Every structure is written in C-alpha cells, then in structure tokens.
Amino acid sequence: MKKIISLLLLFTFGLSSCEKDDICDANTPTTPRLVITFYDNAAPTTLKTVTNLKVVGEGKDDADAIIFNENGTSVTKYLTNANTISLPLKIDAKTTTYKLIFNATSANPNIDVLTFNYATQNVYVSRACGYKTTFTLNPRDNTANSGLIRTDPAGDGFWMLNINVFNSNIEFENETHVKAYF
C-alpha cells in the first residue's frame, strides 16, 4: 500500500511540474506601424490612389526602400499604387524620417520628406509574446500636425498638399493615423 501511495504521489508531482507551451498567437497585436491614408485634395472624403509611390528611410539608399510587393522585380517590389500605406517607426529613437517619392519611376519624381516625432511606451502583451511598443506623436505646439514635420528637399513643391495627424496614439494598425491630401 505504501508503494502505491508513494508511486501516486511521485506521479502527481511529476504532472504538476509540466506546463503548457507558450506560443504567441499570430493574431496577437504587436508593435504597430504608422498608417497613412491618401485622399483627393479636391474631394477630401474621397480616397485617392498614389501612383508609383516609393518610401525610403532616412540614411538608406533607394535599394533599401520599404518593400511593398515581395513578388515584384528589383524595381517594382519597392513601389505601391495604393491609397493606404503602413510604415514602421523606430522603437529605439524619438523620431523617424521617411522620403516619400511620388511617381518614382518617372523622369521627374516628386519628393516630400516626413519626420515623425513621438514618445514610446513598452506594453506587456503576454509571457509568450513579450512586449510591444506603442507610440504617441509628440505635440511640439498647439497645431494639428504637431507630431510631424514636412520638408521639400528638392524644392520641387510639395506633392502632398495637406497633411493632418488624425490619431496621435499609434496603438493599432487597423486605423488611420495620418491623412495626406494630394
């Protein structure tokens, strides 16, 4: 009888030391990207597709641009013809700068540079997934676009005529954060 009780106790302790596998579900929200949606400047509620848009991060060359089409050629994989794009922000910095090139394949592309200023916050997701970083565009002053600086390095005029920070809290990718009108 003592042997059976000892065996049952050993078996019970053996089962209690097992734990389930921690696997992060693919549907768990992770560090979000900044979502920019493009609209027609003449009809501000109408979505507008950007033609041959190429996005290059600061300090990167054109061969290190954001890849929009994995299956594209060496030229077309960096181009998008869409009305919405998602851009990653740096989690180890307080600013991220992108060069947005409109009509990138034409002889005279138009370049606007956007710099996003933000604060970061690490948020615990779960033991399996770890942490994610959320962003809040910084207010530099009391204007609507306080978390964003726009420049025209080539002096060819802004192709994005108006840019508005729509949602300064970047916590999810299923919502628009910045609206650009052209």
Looking at residue 142, its pLDDT comes to 46
In the sheet that 162-165 helps form, which strands lie side by side, from edge to edge?
Answer: 84-87, 34-39, 178-181, 162-165
Query: pTM (2 decimals)?
Result: 0.82
Sign of torsion, CA 70 163 102 64?
negative
Looking at residue 53, its pLDDT comes to 97
Tokens standing for residue 15: 């089962």
Contacts of 129 (CB under 8 A, 6+ apart): 24, 25, 28, 30
User: Using one digit for the tens of pLDDT, what is the confidence trace for 121-156?
Assistant: 999 998 888 999 999 998 654 455 567 888 888 788
CA distance 110 to 47: 20
Low-confidence ranges of the chain (pLDDT < 50): 141-142
Contacts of 54 (CB under 8 A, 6+ apart): 62, 65, 66, 78, 79, 100, 101, 104, 109
Contacts of 24 (CB under 8 A, 6+ apart): 125, 126, 128, 129, 130
